[in-house]
């Protein structure tokens, strides 16, 4: 494992956006994440793949401290964003989450209007000075999420009335509206049909221009399509991490190869 | 071929689909029986409800009608206001004993003027009128002294027996055995009715008048009880809703999960099951004996009912908060909302219908509660209306609807059975209105996600 990280370090030339060192996560007595080291670069899409229960979602939720909301979860180790330890006592997770947006597995729009869904983040963080400002933020976010054309005439209608794919893009727009630096996506397409999936994937590729995107996915094809870097998790270990092309064509670890070729998982 | 047919019935679903096999028939019959049991249970339940409603309505509906006599009464100045200054404080020296003969003479004169002859003595004739009417006449004169010296028309309450005669409670046969009324008096009432001097009309006094003594069922009303219940509901709403909702939000959303919160949780559930009379004893010990609050006061009743309603509201609110999908909380937290923002902006609005329903059900429970109120003295005979809440009315003696019902059912005069049933109808109507409000609010605030 150390070796993979060594080769990984050689690939990354920029300073990493997120650095994790020796991360352990426990749920009660269960050791869910075991000693994970990873460096995630800015303006790339990093995919976490692995079989169910391997800890990839758990690790994702460490990055914006969503695990704090689970009383029995305990995180050890060191995770830094731009060199700052996010588990430092002085860090307010609320502030952190404004910087690290998240899109969940199941579309979860608020039962409010489309406009209010997108405007919620900017409102609570005071990102707009006036109504016109806010309108612009909402429009930009919806455009980013490729939802503007479909939603512009129905901004005041409930977000829950949209189709599943539109709802997920609304959630992406909502996350983008708070202008985060990192966007975490936890299986964003698992509840969507292939067409909606294609739209969201296209969107993820565009989002790479401005954000570091970390995406957890069950679909290896999806990881291959959207990501530049791929990390393979297995039983709580980070087995292999590297260029997506390399992971899928010539994995170093036999477990990675088994998973990719469909023998485990 | 014989082999195949022989093997057929041994496997499930191997036989012809057109013939029902034994097992399927048995299962279908079992299902049919179960449906029938359910239907019977529902029918028994509905039957009981219908019986209850019929008995209450048949006994109580007549209390909304009241028999009155139309009498011309002379109000001579020399009897009522000798000084002639029309000063109510001076005039109040004339008690109801001074007014009773006026009403009696008025009735006798009215009979004569309408050509109704009777062999009854003037005293017996006067028994047609309720004693309460004398007090009402006095109050009317004191309120408006200018009527002295004139002849006014009075709508006097008929006595309880006469009222009962027109509600089929009193008959000629029962009057024979009754020391309070005679058949001749009933016949006189019939003649008064023919002359249009006696009639029944809607009984507004039932809703506004205070309670009356055992001998005057015709004058007994729910005024003080309705006011008392209203005051208590106000106190319960103002205290129990904020305390209950705040406690639930804290326990459900913020409190750490540990032994203490578990203990609190169990105790709240247990409190909901504590017999209400225990809360009455608590109220007596703490609010009256220790804190020194007045007896029979809505403030004490309201506090006791608040204690009783709190567990209901907390349990309902926590259930409503639990029912909000966690994904909504995650969505808010993921956007960088603080815990409190996620609760107040998203979770609470979604839980609102459930909270309101729970609150109104708790209030309805409190409205119908009798036992704890008996212990804190609200069972007293109260004829004075409590002041408005701004003038300290919460501390004035009052009674409550269910207690008034309890009170009336204990009195001997059968006319009070009618009053009690009428009060039950009023109470049920209040409960119905509250439940409809709950349903309306739930529909209005309900949002889908």
pLDDT range class, residue B348, cuts 50, 70, 90: very high
**Which residues of chain A have a CB within 8 Å of the CB of B257?**
71
The residue of chain B with its CA nearest to that of A121 is B335
The pLDDT of B217-222, averaged and rounded, is 89
The pLDDT of B287-295, averaged and rounded, is 91
Q: What DSSP string describes A97-114?
A: HHHEEEE-SS----SSBH
Cβ contact A59:A23 at 8 Å: yes
ipTM: 0.85
**Which residues of chain B have a CB within 8 Å of the CB of A96?**
336
Q: How many CB pairs under 8 A join A and B?
A: 67
**Which residues of chain B have a CB within 8 Å of the CB of A95?**
336
Give Cβ neighbours of residue A176 (< 8 Å, ≥ 6 apart). A101, A141, A144, A145, A183, A207
Query: Of A104, A108, A124, which has the smallest distance from its Cβ to B337's Cβ?
Result: A124
Cβ contact A256:A239 at 8 Å: yes
Cβ contact B302:B243 at 8 Å: no
Query: Of A97, A103, A120, which has the smallest distance from its Cβ to B333's Cβ?
Result: A97
Q: Which residue is associated with the tokens 């212990």?
A: B375
* Interface touch B331/A106, C-beta < 8 Å: no
Query: Which of B329, B335, B338, B347 to probe the A interface (max A CBs under 10 A)?
Result: B335
- Positive or negative: CA dihedral B161, B166, B169, B171: positive
pLDDT tens readout for residues B142-163 = 888 888 888 888 888 998 889 9
What is B223-445's CATH number, 3.30.70.270, 3.40.1710.10, 1.10.3720.10, 2.60.40.1230? 1.10.3720.10
Per-residue b or e along B209-246, where b marks 16 or more CB atoms closer than 10 Å to that residue's CB: bbbbeeebbbbbbbbbbbbbbbbbbebbbebbbeebbe
Determine the pLDDT at residue A265.
Answer: 55
pLDDT at B1 over 60: no
Any idea which of A203-207, B37-41, B264-268 has the lowest mean pLDDT? A203-207
* C-beta neighbour count of B4 within 10 angstroms: 8
Residues belonging to chain B with any Cβ–Cβ distance to chain A shorter than 8 Å: 256-257, 325, 327-338, 341, 345-346, 350, 447-449
Q: CA B279 to CA B330: how far, in whole Å?
A: 41
Q: Please tell me if residue A160 touches chain B, with a CB cutoff of 8 Å.
A: yes
* Interface touch A94/B336, C-beta < 8 Å: yes
Query: Of B256, B257, B335, which has the smallest distance from its Cβ to A175's Cβ?
Result: B335
Over chain B, what is the mean pLDDT? 88
* Interface touch A175/B334, C-beta < 8 Å: yes
Determine the pLDDT at residue B234.
Answer: 93
* Interface touch A111/B449, C-beta < 8 Å: yes
Determine the pLDDT at residue B119.
Answer: 83
**Which residues of chain B have a CB within 8 Å of the CB of A104?**
327, 330-331, 334
Query: Of A71, A102, A111, which has the smallest distance from its Cβ to B334's Cβ?
Result: A102
Query: Which of A116, A117, A120 to probe the B interface (max B CBs under 10 A)?
Result: A120
Q: Please tell me if residue A108 touches chain B, with a CB cutoff of 8 Å.
A: yes
The pLDDT of B327-346, averaged and rounded, is 91
pLDDT tens readout for residues B338-347 = 999 999 999 9
Displacement of CA B193 from its chain's centroid (Å): 33
Query: Which of A69, A92, A157, A162 to probe the B interface (max B CBs under 10 A)?
Result: A69
**Which residues of chain A have a CB within 8 Å of the CB of B333?**
66, 69, 97
Determine the pLDDT at residue A9.
Answer: 39
Determine the pLDDT at residue B448.
Answer: 55
pLDDT tens readout for residues B414-431 = 889 999 999 999 999 999
pLDDT at B141 over 60: yes
Determine the pLDDT at residue B392.
Answer: 83
Any idea where the domains of chain B sit in the sequence?
2-60, 65-216, 223-445
Q: Please tell me if residue A122 touches chain B, with a CB cutoff of 8 Å.
A: no
* Interface touch A121/B449, C-beta < 8 Å: no
Rg, C-alpha atoms of chain A: 18
Token digits for B409?
A: 């059912």
pLDDT tens readout for residues B375-399 = 988 888 888 888 888 888 899 889 9
Cβ contact A81:A99 at 8 Å: yes
- The number of CA neighbours under 13 Å toward the Cβ of B214 is 5
* Interface touch A108/B331, C-beta < 8 Å: yes
* Interface touch A98/B257, C-beta < 8 Å: no
Q: Which helix (H) or strand (E) holds A184?
A: strand A182-186
* Interface touch B327/A106, C-beta < 8 Å: yes
Give me the average pLDDT of each 10-residue run along chain A (265 residues).
Answer: 41 72 90 90 91 88 88 89 89 90 91 92 89 92 88 90 89 91 90 84 87 90 91 90 90 88 71
**DSSP-derived secondary structure letter, B256:** -
* Interface touch B335/A174, C-beta < 8 Å: yes
Determine the pLDDT at residue A2.
Answer: 41
Query: Which of B258, B261, B336, B353 to probe the A interface (max A CBs under 10 A)?
Result: B336
pLDDT range class, residue B94, cuts 50, 70, 90: confident
Q: Please tell me if residue A121 touches chain B, with a CB cutoff of 8 Å.
A: yes
Fold classification of A2-108+184-260 is Rossmann fold (3.40.50)
Determine the pLDDT at residue B405.
Answer: 93
* Interface touch A101/B335, C-beta < 8 Å: yes
Q: CA B35 to CA B126: how far, in whole Å?
A: 64
Determine the pLDDT at residue A264.
Answer: 65
Q: Please tell me if residue A168 touches chain B, with a CB cutoff of 8 Å.
A: no
Name the pairing type of β-strands A18-27 and A73-81: antiparallel
Q: CA B178 to CA B312: how far, in whole Å?
A: 50
Cβ contact A85:A78 at 8 Å: yes
pLDDT at B198 over 50: yes
Q: CA A232 to CA B57: how far, in whole Å?
A: 75
């Amino acid at each position: 494992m150390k070796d993979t990280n060594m080769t990984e370090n050689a690939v990354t030339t920029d300073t990493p956006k997120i650095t994790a060192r020796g991360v352990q996560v426990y749920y009660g007595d269960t050791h869910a994440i075991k000693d994970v080291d990873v460096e995630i670069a800015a303006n790339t899409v990093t995919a976490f793949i692995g079989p169910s229960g391997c800890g990839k979602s758990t690790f994702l939720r460490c990055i914006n401290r969503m695990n704090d909301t689970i009383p029995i979860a305990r995180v050890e180790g060191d995770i830094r964003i731009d060199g700052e330890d996010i588990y430092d006592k002085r860090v307010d997770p609320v502030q952190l989450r404004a910087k690290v947006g998240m899109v969940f597995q199941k579309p979860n729009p608020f039962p409010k209007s489309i406009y209010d869904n997108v405007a919620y983040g900017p409102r609570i963080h005071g990102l707009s000075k006036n109504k016109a400002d806010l309108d612009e933020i909402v429009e930009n976010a919806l455009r980013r999420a490729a939802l503007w054309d479909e939603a512009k005439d129905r901004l005041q209608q409930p977000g829950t009335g949209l189709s599943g794919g539109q709802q997920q893009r609304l959630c992406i727009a909502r996350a983008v509206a708070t202008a985060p630096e990192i966007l975490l996506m936890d299986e964003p397409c698992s509840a969507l049909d292939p067409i909606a999936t294609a739209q969201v994937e296209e969107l993820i590729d565009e989002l790479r221009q401005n954000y570091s995107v970390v995406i957890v996915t069950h679909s290896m094809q999806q990881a291959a399509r959207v990501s530049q870097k791929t990390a393979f998790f297995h039983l709580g270990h980070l087995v292999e991490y590297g260029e997506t092309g390399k992971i899928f064509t010539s994995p170093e670890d036999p477990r990675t190869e088994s998973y990719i070729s469909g023998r485990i998982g | 071929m014989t082999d195949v047919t022989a093997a057929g019935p041994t496997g499930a679903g191997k036989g012809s689909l057109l013939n029902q096999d034994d097992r399927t028939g048995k299962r279908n019959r079992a299902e049919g029986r179960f449906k029938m049991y359910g239907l019977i249970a529902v029918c028994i339940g509905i039957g009981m409800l219908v019986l209850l409603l019929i008995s209450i309505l048949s006994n109580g509906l007549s209390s909304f009608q009241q028999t009155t006599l139309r009498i011309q009464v002379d109000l001579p100045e020399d009897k009522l206001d000798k000084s002639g200054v029309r000063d109510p404080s001076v005039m109040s020296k004339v008690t109801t004993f001074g007014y009773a003969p006026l009403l009696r003479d008025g009735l006798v004169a009215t009979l004569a003027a309408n050509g109704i002859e009777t062999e009854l003595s003037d005293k017996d004739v006067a028994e047609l009128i309720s004693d309460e009417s004398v007090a009402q006449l006095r109050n009317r004169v004191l309120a408006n002294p200018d009527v002295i010296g004139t002849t006014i028309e009075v709508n006097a309450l008929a006595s309880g027996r006469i009222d009962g005669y027109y509600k089929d409670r009193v008959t000629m046969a029962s009057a024979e055995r009754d020391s309070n009324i005679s058949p001749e008096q009933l016949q006189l009432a019939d003649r008064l009715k023919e002359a249009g001097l006696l009639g029944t009309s809607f009984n507004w006094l039932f809703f506004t008048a205070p309670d009356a003594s055992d001998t005057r069922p015709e004058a007994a009303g729910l005024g003080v009880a309705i006011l008392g219940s209203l005051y208590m509901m106000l106190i319960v709403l103002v205290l129990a809703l904020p305390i209950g909702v705040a406690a639930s939000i804290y326990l459900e959303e913020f409190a750490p999960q540990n032994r203490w919160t578990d203990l609190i949780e169990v105790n709240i559930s247990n409190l909901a099951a504590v017999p209400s009379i225990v809360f009455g004893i608590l109220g007596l010990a703490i609010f009256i004996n220790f804190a020194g609050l007045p007896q029979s006061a809505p403030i004490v009743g309201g506090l006791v009912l608040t204690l009783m309603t709190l567990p209901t509201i907390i349990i309902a609110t926590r259930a409503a908060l639990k029912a909000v999908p966690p994904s909504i909380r995650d969505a808010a937290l993921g956007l960088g909302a603080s815990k409190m923002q996620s609760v107040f902006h998203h979770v609470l609005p979604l839980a609102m219908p459930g909270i309101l329903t729970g609150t109104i059900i708790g209030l309805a429970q409190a409205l119908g509660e009798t036992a704890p109120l008996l212990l804190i003295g609200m069972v007293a005979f109260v004829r004075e209306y409590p002041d408005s809440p701004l003038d300290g009315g919460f501390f004035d003696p009052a009674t409550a609807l269910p207690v008034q019902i309890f009170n009336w059912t204990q009195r001997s005069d059968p006319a009070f059975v009618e009053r009690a049933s009428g009060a039950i109808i009023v109470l049920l109507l209040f409960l119905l209105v509250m439940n409809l409000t709950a349903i309306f609010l739930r529909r209005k605030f309900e949002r889908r996600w």
